[in-house]
Structure 1
Amino acid sequence: MAPHHICKYQETDHKSILDLFFQGMVEHFPATFRHILKLPKTILVLLGLPVARLLVSGSWLLALGSNVTLLVYLWMLARYAWRKYAVKYLREDLADITKSYLKARGSCFWVAESGGQVAGIVGALPVKDAPPGKKQLQLFHLSVALENRGEGPGKALVMTVLQFVRAQGYSEVVLDTTIVQEAALTLYRHMGFQKIREYFPEKNL
């Protein structure tokens, strides 16, 4: 296990952070595609479309081809959704990390380094519309380089956020994630996070 240490963001790490974040988003394409294939609506279409095409055209080749076309479309949909998500944040808060995370009080951005390279990242910002009586901090962009998975930087980064929460007097730390980010979900559960709600953004894809 390679040693790593956690430090606050420095401008010299910016390009490496952007590359790590984007590659992390790209990794979710296949899992998202598989998740889409398991949805009841998708299964219904995949079963019904060839039958409808066969009845209309009388050709098995065209019937099977329609499913191939649909599968390609669904793959492109999964790819588009994650690329859109990545580009959004690359152009917004990650474009100027110092301004977004280090200027305001009660916020921060940390980098896990291993062997002189960026091994993981995480950011945290105060929740502006927190429920009455609660002072919440939101965790953003937890990501670990593929070659450093299993070495502990993800857990160390979350622990750093939790220590920051206590030091800054926050009552809670919150975050959003997706069902396809299984490694992140496992880490959060092991560290005591609990699901409070779920929502379905498919209409925004």
Structure 2
Amino acid sequence: MASFRIRQFQERDHKQVVDLFSRGIEEHAPTAFRHLLTLHRTLVLLVGVPLAIVLVSGSWLLAVICIFFLFLFLWFLASKPWKNYVSKCLHTDMADITKSYLSVRGSGFWVAESGGQVVGTVGARPVKDPPLGRKQLQLFRLSVSSQHRGQGIAKALVRTVLQFARDQDYGDVVLETGLLQRGAVTLYYSMGFQKTGESFMDTLTWLVDSSLIHFIYPLPSAQKHEL
């Protein structure tokens, strides 16, 4: 089993971290495309539009061409939200990780290193407007390279955030992840996170039925303190 260690992010890691994060997010596009093809609205589109073309023009060739362009359009719809998300992150917190995380009190950013390479990442920042009386830490940017999955790296990174939250006297750790990021959803459930709701980032994610799942991990120490 490959060995790894988790340490705090350093500036020299930035390019590897950004590349790992970008690849990890955009690899969900094929899953989103397959999911989109199963939706009732998509089936209606794929059947109804070509059929209408045949009825109006009498040309099966035009119908086949139409189906081809419909698939291209559906691929665009499926992949666009992921590309938009990567672009947004690279222009906000991921543009300067030190400033966004390490320079903010109660925040942190860690990498998993194996063989001298960054193979995993995770970040955490305090929630700006938590529920009254709660001190919450939000987990961000959990990612593990495809070649290093199944080695416990993701769990170790999440545990690093949970321990950091305990040390900083946070009451809860919260996060959001996509419904189609099935590996992440399974991981969070297995580690004791509880689902608190679902939402859509925008109209496009609603159109392709790609919702966000909201999770919370109440820290036992905080619960005991409240009792």
Tell me which amino acid in the other structure corresponds to 2:129.
D
Measure, in 2, the Cα distance between the counterparts of 1:78 and 1:117.
31
Who is 2:165 aligned against?
Answer: 165
The TM-score with structure 1 as length reference comes to 0.96
1:123-182 deviation per Cα after TM superposition (whole angstroms, max 9, x unaligned): 000001111111111110100011111111111000001101111111111111111101
User: How far apart are residue 78 of structure 1 and its match?
Assistant: 2.1
Alignment partner of 2:109: what SS?
strand
**1:36 maps onto 2:36 in alignment:** yes
Q: How does 1:118-197 map to 2 (within 5 A)?
A: 118-197=118-197
1:82-104 deviation per Cα after TM superposition (whole angstroms, max 9, x unaligned): 11110111111111100000111
User: How far apart are residue 79 of structure 1 and its match?
Assistant: 2.2
User: How far apart are residue 40 of structure 1 and its match?
Assistant: 1.9
Identical amino acids, percent of aligned pairs: 56
Tell me which amino acid in the other structure corresponds to 2:182.
E
After superposition, the Cα gap between the structure-2 partners of 1:143 and 1:6, relative to the gap in structure 1 and judged at 3 Å, is same
Measure, in 2, the Cα distance between the counterparts of 1:45 and 1:126.
44
Who is 1:10 aligned against?
Answer: 10
User: Does the 8 A contact of 2:77 with 2:204 survive in 1?
Assistant: no
1:53-105 deviation per Cα after TM superposition (whole angstroms, max 9, x unaligned): 11111112212221221111111222222111101111111111000001111
Alignment partner of 2:177: what SS?
coil
Contiguous gaps of at least 5 residues in structure 1:
none
Measure, in 2, the Cα distance between the counterparts of 1:69 and 1:201.
26
Q: How does 1:68-79 map to 2 (within 5 A)?
A: 68-79=68-79
Give the total of aligned pairs.
205
Runs of 4+ with >3 A deviation: none
Measure, in 2, the Cα distance between the counterparts of 1:87 and 1:157.
24
1:12-45 deviation per Cα after TM superposition (whole angstroms, max 9, x unaligned): 1111001101111121110111111122211211
Tell me which amino acid in the other structure corresponds to 1:17.
V
Who is 1:87 aligned against?
Answer: 87
User: Does the 8 A contact of 2:112 with 2:119 survive in 1?
Assistant: yes
Which structure has the highest strand share of the two? 2
Structure of higher RCO (CA pairs closer than 8 Å, 6+ residues apart): 1
Tell me which amino acid in the other structure corresponds to 1:139.
L
Alignment partner of 2:195: what SS?
coil
Tell me which amino acid in the other structure corresponds to 2:200.
F
Superposition RMSD in Å: 1.2
After superposition, the Cα gap between the structure-2 partners of 1:198 and 1:99, relative to the gap in structure 1 and judged at 3 Å, is same
Measure, in 1, the Cα distance between the counterparts of 2:83 and 2:17.
16
